[in-house]
């Protein structure tokens, strides 16, 4: 598909979705959640899910209908696909997710090929919906560092993360 066509299509979809999003935030052309004043909306996973600090749902999810919080695989495919491998390579480390009570290998990863994107994609850490596991009793999610291309995890209750909403397929 032509990249100009895809960009135009994505922009039209975002405009349509933003008409039903909260007036306190909106999605930009990269799907980054922004406050009404244009600044990047920094949050915890719980806030992104419309939950309080204990995980109880208290409101709507941040991503509007028709979009979702991307998995780590989706974020990585978008930000650094050359850094992913199905097999172990020198300098790569394994990325696992916790699903259905067990750890599952997702892919091997290296940030060696990462090229920092321009703008806010290259300035923030982006939440994913992928659960790393429980660390010291706290459920932790993977996030992608737009500054360095590293992948790391942090407890869901901690804030300070940017969020991108990807279109549902």
Query: Looking up tokens 């933003």, which residue turns up?
Result: 18
> What predicted TM-score, i.e. pTM, was given to this entire model?
0.80
Average confidence score pLDDT of the chain: 83
Mean pLDDT lowest for which of 38-47, 69-78, 136-145, 159-168? 136-145
Whether 112 contacts 83, CB under 8 Å: yes
Summarised one tens digit per residue, pLDDT across range 62-72 is 999 999 999 99
Gap between the Cα atoms of 31 and 45, Å rounded: 16
């Amino acid at each position: 598909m032509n990249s100009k066509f895809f960009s135009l299509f994505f922009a039209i979809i975002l405009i349509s979705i933003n008409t039903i999003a909260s007036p306190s935030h909106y999605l930009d052309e990269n799907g980054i959640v922004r406050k009404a004043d244009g600044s990047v909306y920094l949050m915890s996973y719980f806030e992104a899910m419309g939950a309080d600090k204990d995980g109880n749902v208290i409101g709507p999810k941040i991503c509007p209908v028709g979009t979702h919080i991307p998995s780590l695989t989706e974020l990585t495919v978008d930000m650094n696909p050359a850094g992913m491998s199905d097999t172990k390579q020198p300098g790569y480390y394994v990325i696992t997710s916790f699903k259905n009570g067990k750890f599952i290998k997702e892919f091997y990863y290296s940030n060696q090929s990462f090229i920092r994107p321009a703008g806010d994609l290259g300035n923030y850490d982006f939440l994913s919906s992928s659960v790393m596991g429980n660390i010291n009793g706290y459920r932790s999610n993977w996030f992608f560092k737009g500054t360095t291309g590293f992948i790391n995890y942090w407890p869901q209750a901690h804030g300070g993360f940017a969020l991108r909403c990807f279109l549902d397929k």
